[in-house]
Structure 1
Amino acid sequence: MKRTALLHAELSHLIATLGHGDLVVIGDAGLPVPPGPQRIDLAVTRGVPRFTEVLAAVLSEMEVESATIAREACSAADGALPPWCAMLAVEPQCVNHAQLKRLSRQARAVVRTGETTPYTNVVLSAGVVF
């Protein structure tokens, strides 16, 4: 059995095979998965698993060079990033939701969570550890 946090076989394999610049999307339950990228569907029911739980597990094993989120996820009042962005080691780039969905077409995989908070999606770009 693995010693690290991530036990899901497909997700672990995906991260192990990423190359520099490869994209992985972690999305809410409503994010459309375009044809092309591998679909890793973790959603069991509303809220299970939560986006933050999946993001934490992925970040425990993936070197992230950059991240992209939908501008619509930011606070309407002051434009503040969602609290879960604090989990990222990089400041995310903000694009509109339509652009984020187009970007997801280039991803190696889209990971679907049970999250039901609108616009809780992130595109992670793989970095290198050396």
Structure 2
Amino acid sequence: MKKHGILNRELAGHFAKLGHTDQIVIADCGLPIPNNVPCIDLAYRLGEPPFTTILDVVLEDLVVEAAIVAEEVKTNNEQVGNELSMKCPNISYVSHEEFKALTKNTRLIIRTGETTPYANVILQCGVIF
């Protein structure tokens, strides 16, 4: 039994397969999930678990070199926007429509129970050396 890091076996298994430049998504409960991308649905009721809780846990477990966020978060969800700008390196902003299109090429989507708008991020994996 693991005693540190991600305990969810599906998440841990997916994370073990990630390499440099692979991308994953942490999503609110409303983001459309592309058919071809695996989704681990952690939502168990509206608002739970919150986006920022999952973001923190993922950032503790993965090396992240860049992030992509919808531009709309800046004006429509300042709290999440500020959290992302403080915690994620090398953020680039795209329209929400472009963000949704980019999710089709990611390796994994982690769905949270978050209900605030534009609480989504694409994280690009880095390397430990």
After TM superposition, is the score higher than 0.5? yes
Q: Distance in 2 between matches of 1:38 and 1:26?
A: 12
Q: Does residue 24 in structure 1 map to residue 19 in structure 2?
A: no
| Partners of 1:38 and 1:110 within 8 A in 2 | yes
How many equivalent residue pairs? 127
The letter for the 2-side match of 1:106 is: N
| Partners of 2:69 and 2:121 within 8 A in 1 | yes
Q: Distance in 2 between matches of 1:15 and 1:93?
A: 23
TM-score with structure 2 length normalisation? 0.92
Q: 1:81/1:55 Cα in 2 relative to 1: closer, same or farther (>3 Å)?
A: closer
Task: State the shift of 1:75 in Å.
Answer: 2.5
Q: Distance in 1 between matches of 2:34 and 2:75?
A: 27
The letter for the 2-side match of 1:124 is: L
Q: 2:10: which partner in 1?
A: 10
Alignment map for 1:112-127 (pairs within 5 Å): 112-127=111-126
Q: Distance in 2 between matches of 1:127 and 1:27?
A: 20
Q: 1:104: which partner in 2?
A: 103
Q: 1:41: which partner in 2?
A: 41
Write out the 4+ residue segments of structure 1 that deviate beyond 2 Å after TM superposition: none
| Partners of 1:75 and 1:81 within 8 A in 2 | no
For residues 24-52 of structure 1, the C-alpha deviation after alignment (integer angstroms, 9 at most, x for no partner) is 00000000000111111001111110001
Gaps of 5+ in 2: none
